[in-house]
Structure 1
């Protein structure tokens, strides 16, 4: 059974990059080596793997990746730090 991974990288400029892959080790090596010069991480290397989660269904992984990409940096940090109880409050808008 194939696995898919949603991952978060911390970039040199302290920004986060979220991606999806079926080969996590290879994909991280591609980010580190700068294989794709037009990618977000190319000029932000080195990168550090901060989080990953595996999925058996590619559609589940895609949905999770899209969800995370919309999150604030604070919410991503809470996920990375396994502070799941903070996630609902970080999703609320401040008026």
Structure 2
């Protein structure tokens, strides 16, 4: 997800639309509860065969540098610089 302050947040869920609504309501992860980070926008999601694979991917994404996250997103057709106003 792209936060209002242009930071990136990634997480695990089995219901993407519900989780996005929870984050935007300020009741999601501690990171997205800050008003300065809301609203958040869904940029990209992936489906996994099982919870273990999803959690491993989440962990890997969260531990990347911002530049690595941006490169990953760009490889999947997402350029956040085009979203800035």
- Which TM class, normalised by the smaller chain length? 0.7 to 0.9
Runs of 4+ aligned residues of structure 1 deviating over 6 Å after TM superposition are: none
Q: Distance in 2 between matches of 1:16 and 1:60?
A: 21
Aligned partner of residue 6 in structure 2, secondary structure: coil
| Corresponding residue to 1:31 among 2, 7, 23 | 23
Structure 2 partner of 1:89: none
Structure 1 partner of 2:9: 17
TM superposition score normalised by structure 2? 0.79
| Higher-Rg member (1/2) | 1
Q: Distance in 1 between matches of 2:30 and 2:43?
A: 18
How far does residue 11 in structure 1 lie from its aligned partner after superposition?
0.8
| Corresponding residue to 2:58 among 56, 65, 75 | 65
Aligned partner of residue 47 in structure 1, secondary structure: coil
Aligned residues: 74
Higher share in helix: 2
Higher share in strand: 1
Q: Distance in 2 between matches of 1:50 and 1:74?
A: 16
Unaligned stretches of 5+ in structure 2?
Answer: 77-85
For each residue in 1:10-48, what CA deviation from the matched residue of structure 2 results, as whole angstroms up to 9, or x when unmatched?
111111111000111100010111124x72111110111
Provide the alpha-carbon RMSD of the alignment.
1.5
